[in-house]
Amino acid sequence: MPRPRPSAPRPAPDTTSDVIRWAAFSCVLVPVVLVWYGTSLAGAAGTAFGLAAVTAVCRVLLRRSERCAAQRGGRHTRG
C-alpha cells in the first residue's frame, strides 16, 4: 500500500489581486455594455474614468490594510 505524501502547506491566496483584477475587468466591460445599449461615448468614458478612479483608491486601501495586518501579525492578535 503506497504511503500518502505529506502535503506542503499552501500559500494563502492573494485575494486583493483577485478583487483588483475583477474591478479592472468591470472598468472595461461596463462602458462597452453602456455603449452597446445606446449611451453616448462621453457618458461611457466618464463612467470608465470614475470606475478606474474608485478601483485605484480601493487598491491602495487594500494594500495598506494588508501591510498593517502583516505588521501586527494578522487579524486575530491581542495586544
pLDDT band at residue 74 using 50, 70 and 90 as cut-offs: low
- Closest to 21 measured CA to CA, from 51, 57, 55: 55
Between 47 and 77, the more confident residue is 47
pLDDT band at residue 36 using 50, 70 and 90 as cut-offs: very high
pLDDT in tens, 43-71: 999 999 999 999 999 999 999 998 898 88
C-alpha dihedral (26, 32, 36, 37), degrees to nearest 10: 50
